[in-house]
Amino acid sequence: MTSNDLKRARVAKNWTQKDAARHLGVSQCYLSFLETGRRAVPDKMAQRFLLEYEMPATVLPLPSPESSDLGASAEWARCLGALGYPGFSYLKAQPDKNPAEFLVDALMQPDLDSRVAKGLPWVVFKYTDMNWGWLVKSAKLHDLQNRLGFAVTLARQLLEKLRANESVPALVHCEALLEQSRLAREDTFCHNSLTETEKRWLRDKRPPDAQRWNLLTDLTAEQLTYAF
């Protein structure tokens, strides 16, 4: 969340600095410092800006790729619900993670509830303006390019079916970058606890996109009904 993000969001609301300061419960002088970059936006204020300015979760700060938390919160459903995922819309919460950070943290998990795993392509589908440079770099750092590439592929297919063509080029570009570093080793889509019997079945029955990304999963875009 940068100083420019704050100023653009305030102007979009047609608020003066005085108006915004009143809504936020801070002084106009302090808000001016934040908007000019003389003060960094503290974490405790980020949530308030999201709420009052109706800002997207993509403005939340991203950690360095090396600092991604391998032991991230187990509340994946709550986090997805906070980002707006229809499958967990009943879990009311304000987003506390940038969608890109959430996506990487989730893809790093060896095992996720299948309902959560199905929500990961939705994050790509919903937030096509994520920081793709950071995402690709983080994916390569943690050997997640196949998992991320698969999620991006499914999201792109959903957008194409909905004819949301303005968002497709960014995903096509991301797919191409991930394709260049696609891993040859076999993996799952956050379901490493598969039995050997299940793995053998999936090797024969998995859809072409899963085979392309060397993943053992039967997930397809047609199963992701949240887009329709």
Q: Are residues 91 and 165 in the same domain?
A: yes
Output the domain CATH number for residue 43.
1.10.260.40
Assess whether pLDDT exceeds 70 at residue 68: no
Number of domains, the chain: 2
| pLDDT score at 67 | 47
Q: What are phi and psi of 215, to 5 degrees?
A: -115, 145
181-223 pLDDT per residue, tens: 999 999 999 999 889 999 999 999 999 999 999 999 999 999 8
Mean pLDDT highest for which of 2-11, 45-54, 110-119?
110-119
Q: Is residue 60 part of a domain?
A: no
Residue type, 7: K
Q: Are residues 214 and 194 in the same domain?
A: yes
CA angle 88, 101, 108 (to 5 degrees): 85
153-180 pLDDT per residue, tens: 999 999 998 888 888 999 999 999 999 9
Could you tell me which residue, 153 or 12, shows the higher pLDDT? 153
- Name the least confident of 28-42, 99-113, 132-146, 189-203: 28-42
Q: Are residues 31 and 99 in the same domain?
A: no
Q: Are 78 and 84 in contact (CB under 8 A)?
A: no
| pLDDT score at 62 | 67
Give Cα 125 to chain centroid, integer Å.
9
| pLDDT score at 180 | 93
Q: Are residues 22 and 92 in the same domain?
A: no
